[in-house]
Structure 1
Amino acid sequence: MQFHFAPWPERTWLISRTWDFVYVPIPKVACSSLKRWMLLLDGVCPANVPHVHRHMRIHYSAGAHYGPWARRRVATRKLFRFTFVRNPWDRLVSAFLNKFPQRKPPAIPVIDAVHRSRRGTRCSRSAEQRNITFREFVAWLDSIDLARAEEHWRPQSHFLGCDTYDFVGRFERLADDFHQLQQILQTDHPLPSFNATPRRGGITTAIADIPADQLNSAPAYRDFYDASLRDAVARLYREDIDRFGYTFDMQPPLQSSESGEDRHATSITNAS
């Protein structure tokens, strides 16, 4: 594997020389906090790094400059490998709330594409100018190849490939699973809280049909879904759902005992 010219997703892997691990970051699965934690492990204050994602890509990513050393360590599995995953229904809502209300760069091509489709149906000028709804976002996702989608809504399985992992944490049990990871790596550096969006539930309005920039709060992910949207996301992210054992409401399965302090690999290879 040539890390200097590594293909996606290998080039996004983050490698710690000091702690001998590979972290596979997945957007909207606490990756902002975990990247800042990696800086803390190396004695760097995250507050002094203005562009953390760019800094990590330049100084830690496998695709940047970890050539022969990284190739040897990864090929011989001498680097502890871990990641965190998240309920696909929840992750998609989190990405929508993070990117669309303020029309951040990843959302712009999607909004433009939906506007073009509206013009094809002779929608009003006001409809062309407004933001899109979660329902329209899901419909657009259903029209594209998710393997080539923007990383915030690309399936999580695609980040992990067919490799085995020493530890797979769950966003739904972030505090407990991160504590287990600390014990495995023998560190007490805390996980910084960053980019967390408070959610409130019990909303009865059809949240999925409200334009993103008109959402006054961050509803619980369940409030975005009716039966048709729930089924659509299940179809789009079937590989993630099968591979990681998620259902819409059910809590994920407990962490495999193989991923404990004996550092044996936990297989999460493709269900297919």
Structure 2
Amino acid sequence: MTESESVVYRVVPKCACSTIGQIMYYSDHGNFFDGDIHDAKTGIHKWAHDESKPLIERNVAAHQSYAFTCVRNPYTRILSSFFDKICGVQRNGKYYRGNLVPLLIQKYGIEVGDPESGFEFDQIRSFRRFLLFARDTIRWRRPMEPDIHWSAMSGHISTFIVNGGRYDNIFWTEKFNEGMQQVLDGIETKHPVDLAQIPRFNESEGHGPKRAHPVEDYFDDLSMHIVYEIYKKDFRIFRYDFENPANKLPIGEIDLDEVHAKLG
């Protein structure tokens, strides 16, 4: 939530959350947070901050401010999680979650490449093995609890509803400017935001291998089946095209009443 309480945003990992956080910060302060917005301790209210919690709780329960969130195609989201969280070296110079990558190499035979060799490895084979791991964490919570970056968007989004919140807008990452503009049109900001001038804050870029193939090449029939098993609700409620991994764009409009009924 912005400090001015102009707007409330339910963060969904891997769905433009860095950019949205920076836009909210900018709308209050007229400048961007210097660094990764996820590290900001001041200038913006977060659920993780003890002093922010009661303020957010009160605001959401009374629906005092415009509330929104943002979603992304499940195929590109899980692919992005793989390249960022599994193959990429994180901001602290280490692999994500310490021993996670060695565990995956050992138990699932995943390769992640090496910066020394220019990240040469069979991306498609490794990704499909990662998909099995993601499915195991979500279905059986083994060998670990599911991670926020690959657990279903509907799960993230439902907690807000179950705890008494109501969304005014849910838009697609794939139509970011259009959706974010609707949000900005619906609120009053201390500083005007020109979306055409806003940089994209992709905090995960540049520290891992580049995706070497088109999205659809990573998903054979079995992978699509696994993706559907994990993200069935995400495809249905947020209107993404399960049949065609090459189509990033939604195939219908999001019905907010349906979202609240099914996720609440």
| TM-score relative to the length of structure 1 | 0.70
In structure 2, do the counterparts of structure 1 residues 218 and 175 end up closer, same or farther at CA, with 3 Å as the change threshold?
A: farther
Query: Following TM superposition, by how much is the alpha carbon of 1:165 offset from its aligned partner in structure 2, in angstroms?
Result: 0.9
Corresponding residue SS for 1:169? strand
Kept in 2: contact 1:110–1:140 (CA 8 A): no
Q: Does 1:141 align with 2:106?
A: no
Match of 2:235 in 1: 241
Kept in 2: contact 1:239–1:270 (CA 8 A): no
Mapping 1:1-272, distance limit 5 Å: 15-46=1-32, 49-55=34-40, 59-64=44-49, 65-104=51-90, 105-106=95-96, 108-117=98-107, 133-145=126-138, 148-161=145-158, 163=161, 164-186=166-188, 188-189=192-193, 190=195, 191-195=198-202, 217-248=211-242, 249=244, 251-252=249-250, 253-256=252-255, 267-270=259-262
Query: Following TM superposition, by how much is the alpha carbon of 1:101 offset from its aligned partner in structure 2, in angstroms?
Result: 2.9
Moved more, 96-105 or 161-170: 96-105
Deviations 1:211-246 (A, max 9, x none): xx7x55453322211111111111111222222222
**Residues of 2 paired with 1:89 and 1:98: CA distance?**
14
Query: Following TM superposition, by how much is the alpha carbon of 1:60 offset from its aligned partner in structure 2, in angstroms?
Result: 1.6
Amino acid at match of 1:242: R
Kept in 2: contact 1:157–1:270 (CA 8 A): no
Corresponding residue SS for 1:145? helix
In structure 2, do the counterparts of structure 1 residues 58 and 238 end up closer, same or farther at CA, with 3 Å as the change threshold?
A: farther
Amino acid at match of 1:194: F
**Residues of 1 paired with 2:44 and 2:185: CA distance?**
26
In structure 2, do the counterparts of structure 1 residues 233 and 18 end up closer, same or farther at CA, with 3 Å as the change threshold?
A: same
Moved over 4 A (4+): 56-59, 215-218
Deviations 1:74-132 (A, max 9, x none): 2111122100001111111111122233344336544222233268xxxxxxxxxx898
Amino acid at match of 1:160: I
Query: Following TM superposition, by how much is the alpha carbon of 1:56 offset from its aligned partner in structure 2, in angstroms?
Result: 5.5
| TM-score relative to the length of structure 2 | 0.72
**Residues of 1 paired with 2:122 and 2:89: CA distance?**
8
Query: Following TM superposition, by how much is the alpha carbon of 1:19 offset from its aligned partner in structure 2, in angstroms?
Result: 4.3
In structure 2, do the counterparts of structure 1 residues 176 and 193 end up closer, same or farther at CA, with 3 Å as the change threshold?
A: same
Amino acid at match of 1:168: I
**Residues of 1 paired with 2:55 and 2:203: CA distance?**
35
In structure 2, do the counterparts of structure 1 residues 242 and 267 end up closer, same or farther at CA, with 3 Å as the change threshold?
A: closer
Corresponding residue SS for 1:254? coil
Query: Following TM superposition, by how much is the alpha carbon of 1:176 offset from its aligned partner in structure 2, in angstroms?
Result: 1.4
Corresponding residue SS for 1:270? helix
Question: What 5-or-longer segments of structure 2 have no aligned partner?
Answer: 110-120
Amino acid at match of 2:240: Y
Kept in 2: contact 1:100–1:107 (CA 8 A): no
Corresponding residue SS for 1:81? strand
Query: Following TM superposition, by how much is the alpha carbon of 1:69 offset from its aligned partner in structure 2, in angstroms?
Result: 3.5
Corresponding residue SS for 1:84? strand
Corresponding residue SS for 1:83? strand
**Residues of 2 paired with 1:107 and 1:221: CA distance?**
26
Query: Following TM superposition, by how much is the alpha carbon of 1:269 offset from its aligned partner in structure 2, in angstroms?
Result: 4.1
**Structure whose alpha-carbon radius of gyration is higher:** 1
Amino acid at match of 1:62: W
In structure 2, do the counterparts of structure 1 residues 237 and 109 end up closer, same or farther at CA, with 3 Å as the change threshold?
A: farther
Q: CA RMSD in A?
A: 3.2
Match of 1:122 in 2: none
Query: Following TM superposition, by how much is the alpha carbon of 1:23 offset from its aligned partner in structure 2, in angstroms?
Result: 0.5
In structure 2, do the counterparts of structure 1 residues 159 and 108 end up closer, same or farther at CA, with 3 Å as the change threshold?
A: same
